[in-house]
Structure 1
Amino acid sequence: MGDRMMMRRTFLIATAAITLAAGATPAAARDQWSKAQANAWYGKQAWLVGSNYTPATAINQLEMWQADSFDPATIDKELGYAQSIGMNTMRVFLHNMLWENDPEGLKKRMDQFLAIAAKHKIRPLFVLFDSCWDPNPKAGPQRPPIPGVHNSGWVQAPGAARLKDVAQYGKLEAYVKDVVGHFAGDQRILGWDVWNEPNNEGGGNYVPTPDKKAYVAKLLPQVFAWARSANPTQPLTSGVWTGDHWDDQATLDAVEKTQIGQSDVLSFHDYSWPETFEKRARQMLSYGRPVWCTEFMARGNGSTFDGSLPIGKRLNIAMINWGFVDGKTQTRMPWDSWKKPYTYEEPTLWFHEVFRADGTPYRQAETALIKRLSDAPRGVVPSAVR
């Protein structure tokens, strides 16, 4: 790209950021949905079941969406696998750098993704920011996977540098308002997960960002406000993920209070045994709003389709597991692979993923269970799987 074109693109992005940051909140900006509004909306939905989705050919959210590596053929094939087992949603991560570097291209590719998903009767839940794994994201070609290591190329959004630099917040605001605003009335979208595990320190072998939680605690309410100002017809959420007493406000940190206090639909993560899953699910249901479990299923940790999925169906909780097709994210490897990479042997039990790279189920009984539960009436668990 020539210098003149680069300067023009930079000018346009800067102008958009200033306009959206300074341009008053739209007159039609909505409030948080009431409990009655949220439950009325949820009552019109089918029981939601799906996966956190990255195509097998992408190591992270940047590689999934950048123009040079966007792979609609693989997406079409893999969402076909999802449709075949009754899945009707996918949780899909975006990144602020994608918008900063190519805002129109990102929205064009999102539209293309939505067309493919709609073909397979799938409505995605888009994630705007993420606090997990590498705190120093870099746009452009992504590094190859570290052999034998779980999610070795995943990157945080906005990343440590932008999180600590308040002067960058105008770009973050512009990203949220433009993306959510562009698709605010698009019924192909299930909802917006504004920030994945915002109070997560990061994980892996990365150096934690100093004072990260304090920065996030101040920024997260703004992100909710930016997204809501675009007047989306879809619900907003951000999922709690750690702790044992989510129904006790005294035990929640500032980030969790924002998540529970600002979400239209509540969401949570659980990678524990079924009895813990049900306890946490009931804690979330105590707030009187619809509830989604946006991450579960880590076989070696006691979280399985067999154990948790029927509970979610019975309680009318949306269920979105981590991992779909085995690929460059390598999340068939367990979390401890960051300490002892599985370079000489496969894990005895796959940690995540539903399908092998060739499209065959990792475990046929699991995909059959997903299909039976998705086919059953709302709230009904067929006797064969109780």
Structure 2
Amino acid sequence: MNGFALSIYLSFFAAALFIRNFLQLKQYGGWVLHLNTVLAAYWFVGVSVLLLHGPVRWVELMEVMALFSCIAALVTSIWLWFKGNKSARYFTVAWTGLIVLTFAAVLMMEGVLPHGPVTENGQLIGFVLEMLLLSLALAERINRVQREREEAQAEALQLQVMMNLERDEKLAAQGAMLQLQGQTNRELEDRVQERTQELERTMTNLEIANRELAKLSVTDPLTKVHNRRYFDETLQRELERSMRTGQPVSLILVDIDHFKQFNDRYGHLVGDDCLRLVASTLDQVMVRGTDLLARYGGEEFAIVMPDTSLEDAYRVAEKLRGKVQGLQFIYKGERIPVSASLGVAGQVAAPGDKVEDLIAAADKALYQAKDQGRNRSVRAEGA
């Protein structure tokens, strides 16, 4: 029973993750994403319980949850189909066929339907049909992306042709004007120079705009420090560099103490001001150009410190904690105390080490700092 139940839970957990990615639920959000998350969490917890504890009473609800998961997947795909998701139409047909044929096989085993090639092999037929339709859906998505890429290339080529035509027209006009009298030539030179300067200004402005866009893509809009995506990329890069050079890399996680109560008491706008002030304070302390400060999420910040040992990172963490504790955050003439808890982890990366392990170590140290009374820094054990 344990092995059978484990296989069922693993299958439905994998199916939930597949549906999440295949139907791109994160793009839609809302109830479809939340429902998928709840179901995936249920099946994952079931797998964990079966592996660590063995069968328990609520695990025996798998038949009911399996039926509910099948219906939920079908309802989700139909809803996304009406929303214009092209992959959803393939999934709906494939999933419906699998459910119907599986149900027919169950009815055959219960004696409701007679034995026959379709009923006896119904579920296998359903799986084959599902595989074919989902393969078609994947091929359609690949073709669609390829078409969009080709259309973009065609537009770029057309734009280049238009620019070449415009340039040729300018050259022809200049050639004609060169045959005019001297005054006309001087006027033409003035116009060409003016257009050239305008083009240079335009190109300069475009370059500046591109740099700003690139900066915005890696910047947290509220605190103006780097965002989570840039943090993930940087930490991965520094961990790989540590593996090559043998130099340590350290990570500091910073969490503002009692921030939820802070928001509840003073409001989210004041909370935003507090986040900005803390971010600015942390940024001022981080003087090395190689260090990275990023907003990790909510009231948490993360600091990546290349070529820094755990002890050196801990000293920096204590300095940061002291700076935050000393902030003069004034609201309506009253100084509001602000403090932070910090978790520090560091290591010389070895083959097989993952970013998630370093983050988990720093996060564990952070929660130890909270458990020990907050407003303190804690080093990761065994780092």
Q: TM-score, normalised by structure 1?
A: 0.19
Greater share of helix:
2
TM-score by length of 2: 0.19
